[in-house]
Amino acid sequence: MNAIKELREHFAEIMRLHYIQALLSWDQEVNMMEYKGLEGRSKQVSLIEKLIHQRVTSEKVGRLIKEAEKLDLNEIESAMLREITREYNLAIKLPEKLVTEIAETSILAAKEWREARAKSDFSIFQKLLEKTVELQKEKAEKLGTHPDLYSTLIDLYEPGATYDWIANIFNPIKPKLIDFVKKLNSSSDKPDGSIFKKHYDEDKQFELSSKIIKKLNFDFGYGRQDKVTHPFTTSLASMDVRITTRTTEPFPDCITSTIHEYGHAIYEMGIKKELHDTILCTGTSMGIHESQSRMWENIVGRSKEFWMYWYPTFQEYFPENLKDVPMEEFHRAINIVQPSFIRVNADEVTYGLHIILRFEIEKDLIEGKIQVSELPEIWNSKFEELLGIVPPNDAQGVLQDVHWSGGSIGYFPTYFLGNLYGTQIYAKVLEKMPNLPDDYKKGEFSNLLNYLKEEIHQFGSIYRANDLIKRVTGEDLNTDYFLKYIEEKFKLIYRL
């Protein structure tokens, strides 16, 4: 067997260990939220982490990489070698003790964070967050893939991206978003969101969300949908993708966030068979992943054509709330642009500002310019600067997101990159299929899905994000598409 085949087999086992770890985490999120003791689970997760680390860094891998470099490889094998080399070079720099400490701390910190958020008391979380930040700094120092620590962490989620590259993208958009929000809110004919203050039965919401993803071609033979407090998607094997839904937030969060998670799941489900169980069997970057989820959630799921099909069903499910509300008004209401405290419920225009806030804070935090203890205060003052409002408490402020508790620092910017990638890709889709939105009126979504599968999903991680966006759209990431999209869409909604 040649070196690349051996590497492929070796990493197939590593992938399976990742899937086992994902199962442990999925079970924890779906079934163990009420549990008090998580020590047992945290030890199991860190053991798997240790086994993965040992296998990735084994002497055999280093030797096989050197041998494989001399071989004549096809496109898939080259990409595989690129990703394996990357994993190896990263893992070899991290001592096993640090890896297991990060894994164990993340589980305990997640528990403290949950309690802190429930009680809106930052002090409960502070100590473990300090430890988490220190561990991430140490990790970035050891990895040293970029001159600055924050870029090293960003690169883990968006390979090839750096702080400077992202700042150059975000900085010019920031004032434009702030202005646009003000402009929309100066309209004398704003949409009315009072229908979302009404009660929507949780079981019915869940049932409808399942109905929708089924219609969007989510195959329940290869996946599940469960209820959780914080929605996410995870793969437990190639072709075993789990999505999660929450019904506890004001309507239509359950619907839009389920469509969002569907967008992640369908990406993973669309990866071609040849790549199953290989290191390439996953979306190529968090930003591209998010481009898919946010395209389905917002561009499709908040479009008028989508609701022309679905609204009568919603009126049947919730006649007491919706029977006298025309579809046009409902559609305007689900597109309200309003500065709000919670990122995941933010509209398409203010969402980017929530991300820019976290991006700027993370940079200063990792560079030691601000301390963990100062976070609540800095969060609130920056929030006012960007969104013009101040969170009433830390639960709706600095404590709202799970990411930092899990050690995911550098992850947030990928969300907004996803919006940018998504609108650029969708502009290309419309160029090729200008009448595509007419499909949605008929409840027909397979033309869009097949296009995305063909152009993006099937390739897994063969192409890096910057190569992929060029392949699909013919150019590098270009923020004009996003700005044009929001301008055209929301001027109509706000009748400006």
Nearer to Zn ion, 293 or 466 (CB): 293
Q: How far is the CB of 22 from Zn ion (least distance, A)?
A: 16
Nearer to Zn ion, 293 or 350 (CB): 293
Q: How far is the CB of 464 from Zn ion (least distance, A)?
A: 19
Of 238, 319, 325, the closest CA to residue 273 belongs to 238
- Cα dihedral 41, 43, 48, 49 sign: positive
Task: Take residue 201 and report the two structure tokens written for it.
Answer: 């039965």
Nearer to Zn ion, 7 or 420 (CB): 420
Q: How far is the CB of 389 from Zn ion (least distance, A)?
A: 24
Cβ contact 421:291 at 8 Å: yes
Q: How far is the CB of 257 from Zn ion (least distance, A)?
A: 9
Of 431, 482, 478, 481, the closest CA to residue 455 belongs to 431
Interface of this chain with Zn ion, residues 404 to 463, rule: CB under 5 A = none
Task: Take residue 202 and report the two structure tokens written for it.
Answer: 């949780």
Which region among 90-98, 275-283, 287-295, 405-413 touches Zn ion (by CB under 5 A)?
287-295
If binding is defined by CB under 5 A, does position 151 make contact with Zn ion? no
Q: How far is the CB of 264 from Zn ion (least distance, A)?
A: 6
Q: H or E element: which one contains 243? A: strand 240-245
Beta bridge mates, 235: 241
Q: DSSP per residue over 405-457, as a string?
A: GGT--S-THHHHHHHHHHHHHHHHHHHH-TTHHHHHHTT--HHHHHHHHHHTG
Q: Which residues contact 447 (CB under 8 A, 6 or more apart)?
A: 433, 436, 439
Nearer to Zn ion, 244 or 293 (CB): 293
Q: How far is the CB of 233 from Zn ion (least distance, A)?
A: 7
If binding is defined by CB under 5 A, does position 291 make contact with Zn ion? no
Which region among 180-188, 290-298, 331-339, 450-458 touches Zn ion (by CB under 5 A)?
290-298
Angle made by CA atoms 288, 213, 326, in degrees to the nearest 5: 105
Q: Which residues contact 283 (CB under 8 A, 6 or more apart)?
A: 264, 267, 268, 289, 292, 460, 461
Q: How far is the CB of 286 from Zn ion (least distance, A)?
A: 8
Nearer to Zn ion, 293 or 380 (CB): 293
| Closest residue to Zn ion using C-beta atoms | 293
Nearer to Zn ion, 105 or 292 (CB): 292
Of 232, 306, 226, 238, the closest CA to residue 264 belongs to 232
Nearer to Zn ion, 28 or 293 (CB): 293
300-339 footprint of Zn ion as x/- string (CB under 5 A): ----------------------------------------
The Cα–Cα gap between 399 and 410 comes to: 17
Q: How far is the CB of 349 from Zn ion (least distance, A)?
A: 18
The Cα–Cα gap between 253 and 167 comes to: 30
Nearer to Zn ion, 205 or 293 (CB): 293
Which region among 51-59, 101-109, 285-293, 334-342 touches Zn ion (by CB under 5 A)?
285-293
Which region among 41-49, 164-172, 277-285, 288-296 touches Zn ion (by CB under 5 A)?
288-296
Q: Which is catalytic among the residues 49, 77, 83, 261?
A: 261
Which region among 239-247, 293-301, 315-323, 356-364 touches Zn ion (by CB under 5 A)?
293-301
State yes or no: is 261 an active-site residue. yes
Q: What does the longest C-alpha to C-alpha distance in the chain come to?
A: 71
Q: DSSP per residue over 93-151, as a string?
A: TS-HHHHHHHHHHHHHHHHHHHHHHHHT-HHHHHHHHHHHHHHHHHHHHHH--SSSHHH
Nearer to Zn ion, 294 or 464 (CB): 294
- Cα dihedral 246, 247, 253, 254 sign: positive
Of 402, 289, 404, 394, the closest CA to residue 344 belongs to 402
The Cα–Cα gap between 142 and 132 comes to: 15
- Find the Cα–Cα–Cα–Cα dihedral 97, 103, 104, 107, rounded to 10°: 170
- 152-184 per-residue burial string, b: 16 or more CB within 10 A, e: under 16: bbbbbbbbebbbebbeebbeebeeebbebbeeb
If binding is defined by CB under 5 A, does position 293 make contact with Zn ion? yes
The Cα–Cα gap between 291 and 263 comes to: 9
Q: How far is the CB of 231 from Zn ion (least distance, A)?
A: 9
Residues that bind Zn ion (CB under 5 A): 293
Q: Which residues are catalytic?
A: 261
